[in-house]
Structure 1
């Protein structure tokens, strides 16, 4: 929940933003969700990781998890197109623990059903996943090795994308896009509310205003001095 000062700052910064852009902010906020999230496990190609971040933002996710056990997450600005500014990227980078285990256990404790993307035929088709019944975290593995064995053992289920050609798998960014399109579309079609709380919207709105307004830090400092 925002403090009184933060609420005042938010209202003040809004004065420096056009009505059209303010309406755009509210439209996106109304469609944002934490009901679905994505976990990337040891993705090593920056263009792939960046493309996934961009896809997640486009599909309305507010949160994405980056697991770094072996490969360090790096970005490709040309691919990101600034998408990383509008969602929360949570890094799991501890040197003293298995970050996959820590991430999956954390999300399970928050009520997520964690599902590993895997091409094996014994997995559930992504088109049969019903995210209206529970929060869903989709875990995608390394470009070469796929989802790790420990991740598969921890996950609640495996999901696959039905394929009809000779090639065994899609590029990871394509896989994420197909999976999210299927799940998020069903959420919107269900008519139920899977969006952010008013308190979450207030907090994110302020963060976005700070990024939209040029030299917002200086404007905020001057405003706070003025109301002291």
Structure 2
């Protein structure tokens, strides 16, 4: 756990902000902002806490990988000095594009290093708590599977499962709080509930999917330092 000891927290920077930093799933692609899970969490917190509700910021961008996130980390993460940071990446990192000749957009080793650095920088710039979320399962034979490179050694879903396990590894290595979306998704799937959770593209969340995310994530956010203090 030496990585945890490296993370310096600046006490004077605690400001109650909650920062969501991720890709199109955090951005809320395919639904109106108020129906995204970040929007739902924001409304629920404001309803319960009123003027005690912390400021919620969403600096998520469609299509982002962890490599692209590091390119904008100074402006979109470090500058906020948020007390609570929610990180969710991997759906784009694990993808195989035709132009990459059989390589994922971000290799497994680079993904671990990039995600670890995002956690370290979050703490260095004021975060008391960092949440790392795994990703939901995509359709096994959905549209995305037919777009991947024929040189890819795995299906998109198989690679996504691998990258979800890497997220768990980083959470353990850095002492981050794991929000295991994939595990909760599989429980819902066993009950036959996930069929309505995805849009027609087989990857982005429908309104029902965002509702599911919101219900999973809200208790974690409510128990974060700035709210429970």
**TM-score normalised according to structure 2 size:** 0.27
Larger fraction in strand: 1
Q: Which has the larger radius of gyration?
A: 1
